């Protein structure tokens, strides 16, 4: 039976189709809006991220350069990579000029890269460079024994002999000029004549530790910092497994009372108190020195760098004989880079 | 019919709102980009300004000298020339922008105006000469170059081991825009070159400030006091036009303090 209006009612399926079309259209519009908004925001985000990566790469490059220079000790590594923050710094030094036999000008280049996991093939990259002076063999050969104690006196087998026990045939530069026998703050004396020999036999440095540090050009505060890496710390290398001309840096944190036997640059951060079995070739740098020392040293001894020595009078029973070749070799291991002021610059 | 009209009106309104949103967002992006780009352009130069590199410090004019290359004299060619090393060599230089050379002493630089044409001495034997004095030239032959006339530029001349800076001199100006004369723009000019409009749409409040002591910023520094400046504040306010549909014009701005190298240890 037809309804009174005479209209045939639309089927339920056709009504649903109209609403569905509207809904789909609206959903499409919303999707387009969302996609456009996402594109806008993501492109801004990408710009910001790339800018941030570039800034981080610059910071990484600078940090790598500073670290390389700060940690330089001995022979310079060709290329060194550091993982710093979110990036990698690759540092490459280049020798440019020999100012003299002890000072060279180097260029240090550091490339910082920060990789984005979304574009690993195109990392942010910044390069900085700087000039540095390479201080080779920084410690001058002043005296066979330098102590900041008020008085130094030989005793027993103690000797401080400043004439070179090496000859020109032992190494380039061997057979060096005779250096001072011993230096102390107020007084130097010998138990037996000829215990102390040199040119002059001895000298007084009233300035103590600060005068010594000013003269020997060694970075004592850095070398004794436990965070500063050295080749060997609180242990000796196996000398039979390293080249015979290798004189490594060995650091002992605290007092040194062991009968060490070896060669190199020995750094004792606190008291140097060697027993009679101590036998070393090279350089000994010590924060303090005991009032009575023993053993043998072929090289030079510099002690009392921490400040006024706790013992006013030191009885030197260590037999110290200046060997220029051993001192040269150990000194080479203490070489370091020093940045020239006003020279760090960005190169890209 | 009513329902259809309602749906049509709804859809139209939705599109209008979306369009307004896009337009507003686009203007916002443009305004923020102008501010960001202006800041970054100036800040990047200012960060590299070495000691004595601030030349003009005005409210809307800033002129700085920045290194294009830092070189080391590795061989004296005989007065007055010298062979030098610099990363990238001549290929790494934008030679048309060279404004002069400066020689480093420990505390500052001695600046002398010059041009690349006057300085360029070629690089025929520079690498070999420097190798003879101990330089490692492997893989870097192009990094060695000859500079002319250094002895006449610097009192006492240049010695082996001296560090030489080849610098550019850049002037930033905030002035009436050429592209949109109703507003201001940031212009950048190399030494002796015409200014180029870099960022358009800056507000009249945009300017530079200079720190002469802790907490004290001034917008103009006299030549005699330039050495006291240790930071530059870049104040950039950017303005976008009103968007169709009644939205207000878009404003975006910030101030960025950029310390000069002089505040860092030993100028590094």
DSSP A147-186: E-SSEEEE-TT-EEE-S-SS-TTTSTT-SPPP-EEEEESS
Per-residue pLDDT band at A4 (split at 50, 70, 90)? low
CA distance B43 to chain A (A): 12
Query: Cα–Cα distance between A101 and B41 in angstroms, integer?
Result: 44
ipTM: 0.79
- Each domain of chain A, given as residue ranges in start order, spans 50-136, 143-335
Which DSSP category does A322 fall into? -
pLDDT tens digits, A141-154: 999 999 999 999 99
pLDDT value of residue B247? 61
Asked whether the predicted pLDDT for residue A15 surpasses 60, the reply is no
pLDDT at B126: 92
Asked if A29 lies within 8 A of B18 by C-beta distance, the reply is yes
What does pLDDT average to over chain A?
90
Tell me what pLDDT residue B27 has: 83
Mean per-residue pLDDT for A133-141? 93
CB-CB: which of B85, B160, B266 is closest to A342?
A: B266
Q: What would you report as the CA-atom Rg of chain B, rounded to the nearest whole angstrom? A: 25
Backbone phi, psi, residue A30, to 5° = -65, -40
| pLDDT (0 to 100) of residue B222 | 93
pLDDT at B207: 95
Q: Is the pLDDT of residue A10 over 60?
A: no
pLDDT band, very low/low/confident/very high, at A94 (cuts 50, 70, 90):
very high
User: Would you state the pLDDT for residue A90?
Assistant: 97
Per CB distance under 8 Å, which residues of A are interface residues toward B?
22, 25-26, 29, 33, 36-37, 40, 44, 51, 94-99, 104-105, 107, 109, 127, 129-131, 339-347
Q: Which residue has the higher pLDDT, B174 or A24?
A: B174
- Give Dmax over CA atoms of chain A in angstroms: 145
| Alpha-carbon span B203 to B198, nearest angstrom | 15
- How many beta-carbon pairs under 8 angstroms link A with B? 94
Q: Is the pLDDT of residue A85 over 80?
A: yes
* Interface contact flag, B87 A344, Cβ < 8 Å: no
Whether residue A13 has pLDDT greater than 60: no
Chain B residues whose CB is inside 8 A of the A107 CB are 72, 85, 87
Inspect the interface and report whether the beta carbons of B163 and A25 lie closer than 8 Å: no
Closest by alpha carbon to A148, among A318, A334, A269, A311? Answer: A311
Per-residue pLDDT band at A52 (split at 50, 70, 90): confident
Distance between CA atoms of A324 and A344, rounded to whole angstroms? 37
| List of residues 6+ apart from B133 with CB closer than 8 A | A97, A98, B74, B75, B160
pLDDT of residue B249: 81
Q: How far apart are CA A289 and CA B87, in angstroms?
A: 48
Cβ-Cβ contacts under 8 Å, B69 against chain A: 347
The edge-to-edge listing of strands for the beta sheet with A187-189 is A187-189, A151-154, A313-316, A292-293
Measured between beta carbons, the chain B residues lying within 8 angstroms of A127 are 87
Which residue ranges in chain B fall short of pLDDT 70? 243-247, 263-268
Which is it for the CA torsion A324, A327, A329, A335, positive or negative? negative
Q: Residue A1 has what pLDDT?
A: 47
CB neighbourhood size of A224 (10 A): 19
In this prediction, residue A36 carries a pLDDT of: 83
Q: Is the pLDDT of residue A98 over 50?
A: yes
């Amino acid at each position: 039976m037809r309804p009174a209006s005479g209209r045939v009612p639309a089927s339920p399926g056709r009504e649903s189709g109209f609403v569905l079309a509207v809904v789909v259209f609206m959903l499409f519009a919303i999707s387009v809006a969302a996609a456009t908004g996402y594109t806008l925001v993501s492109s801004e985000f990408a710009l910001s991220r790339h800018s941030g990566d570039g800034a981080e790469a610059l910071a990484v490059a600078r940090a790598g350069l500073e670290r390389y220079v700060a940690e330089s000790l001995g022979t310079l590594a060709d290329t060194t990579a550091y993982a710093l923050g979110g990036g990698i710094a690759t540092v490459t030094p280049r020798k440019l000029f020999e100012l003299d036999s002890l000072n060279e000008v180097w260029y240090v280049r550091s490339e910082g890269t920060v990789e984005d996991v979304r574009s690993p093939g195109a990392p942010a990259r910044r390069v900085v460079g700087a000039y540095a002076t390479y201080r080779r063999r920084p410690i001058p050969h002043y005296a066979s024994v330098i102590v900041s104690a008020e008085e130094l006196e030989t005793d027993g087998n103690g000797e401080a002999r400043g004439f070179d026990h090496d000859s020109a045939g032992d190494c380039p530069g061997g057979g060096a000029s005779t250096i001072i026998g011993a230096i102390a703050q107020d007084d130097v004396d010998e138990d037996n004549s000829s215990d102390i020999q040199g040119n002059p036999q001895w000298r007084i440095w009233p300035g103590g530790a600060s005068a010594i540090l000013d003269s020997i050009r060694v970075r004592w505060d850095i070398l004794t910092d436990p965070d500063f890496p050295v080749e060997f710390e609180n242990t000796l290398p196996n000398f039979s497994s390293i080249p015979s001309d290798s004189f490594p840096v060995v650091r002992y944190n605290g007092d040194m009372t062991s009968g060490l036997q070896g060669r190199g640059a020995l750094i004792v951060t606190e008291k140097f108190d060697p027993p009679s079995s101590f036998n070393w070739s090279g350089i000994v740098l010590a924060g303090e020195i005991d009032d009575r020392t023993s053993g043998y040293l072929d090289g030079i001894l510099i002690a009392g760098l921490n400040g006024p020595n706790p013992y006013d009078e030191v009885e030197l029973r260590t037999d110290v004989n200046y060997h220029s070749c051993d001192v040269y070799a150990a000194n080479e291991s203490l070489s370091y880079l020093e940045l020239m002021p006003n020279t760090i610059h960005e190169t890209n | 019919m009513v329902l259809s009209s309602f749906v049509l009106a709804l859809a139209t309104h939705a599109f209008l709102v979306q369009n307004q949103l896009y337009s507003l967002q686009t203007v916002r992006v443009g305004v923020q980009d102008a501010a960001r780009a202006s800041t970054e352009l100036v800040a990047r130069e200012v960060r590299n300004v070495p000691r004595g590199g601030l030349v003009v410090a005005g409210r809307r004019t800033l002129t700085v000298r920045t290194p294009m290359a830092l070189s080391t004299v590795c061989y004296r060619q005989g007065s007055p020339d010298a062979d030098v090393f610099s990363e990238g060599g001549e290929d790494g230089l934008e030679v048309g922008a060279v404004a002069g050379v400066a020689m480093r002493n420990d505390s500052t630089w001695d600046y002398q105006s010059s041009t690349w044409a006057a300085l360029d001495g070629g690089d025929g034997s520079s690498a070999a000469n420097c190798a003879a004095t101990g330089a490692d030239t492997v893989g870097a032959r192009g990094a060695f170059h000859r500079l002319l006339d250094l002895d006449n530029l610097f009192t006492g001349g240049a010695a082996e081991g001296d560090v030489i800076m080849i610098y550019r001199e850049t002037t930033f100006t905030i002035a009436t825009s050429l592209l949109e004369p109703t507003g201001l723009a940031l212009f950048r000019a190399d030494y002796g070159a015409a200014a180029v409009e870099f960022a358009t749409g800056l507000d009249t409040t945009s300017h530079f400030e200079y720190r002469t002591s802790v907490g004290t910023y001034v917008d103009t520094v006299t030549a005699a006091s330039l050495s006291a400046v240790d930071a530059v504040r870049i104040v950039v306010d950017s303005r976008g036009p009103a968007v169709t549909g009644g939205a207000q014009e878009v404003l975006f701005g910030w101030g960025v303090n950029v310390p000069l190298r002089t505040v860092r240890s030993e100028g590094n």
